[in-house]
Structure 1
Amino acid sequence: MMVINSGIEIGYLLIACALLGVILIGALLSVLRIDRWHPKLIGAVIGALLGFALIEAVPILT
């Protein structure tokens, strides 16, 4: 079980989720040809929001 105690660890986790969002969601939006906005920027925002929601939800579930 991973214990997150400091702001630096939360920052690293948010950056990791944002990068995963850039890779996965950005690639998905590019393949679907949704180029109205920049797909990698949207992927980073969605990844960071999901990472933040994950950080907030996991302590409630355990």
Structure 2
Amino acid sequence: MGETAQVDFEVSGVGLWNVIRIRDRFGGYAGAGPGFDSVETLPGLINYRVRDAARHGMP
């Protein structure tokens, strides 16, 4: 099953970590500044509000 075939439309944690590692390996976060920490930033990258609104109808 591919990542886009998920029934629940949740972000793949493995896929997200792979992207972070590859970007880090090739300097993808160099412009983010010296205090940037991808591990601390990770929870803020995933926002399910749009998904939930689409699944349950907008209020």
Quickly name the TM-score band, shorter chain normalised: 0.3 to 0.5
Q: Larger C-alpha radius of gyration, 1 or 2? A: 2
Structure 1-normalised TM-score?
0.36
Tell me the TM-score normalized by structure 2: 0.37
Higher helix proportion: 1
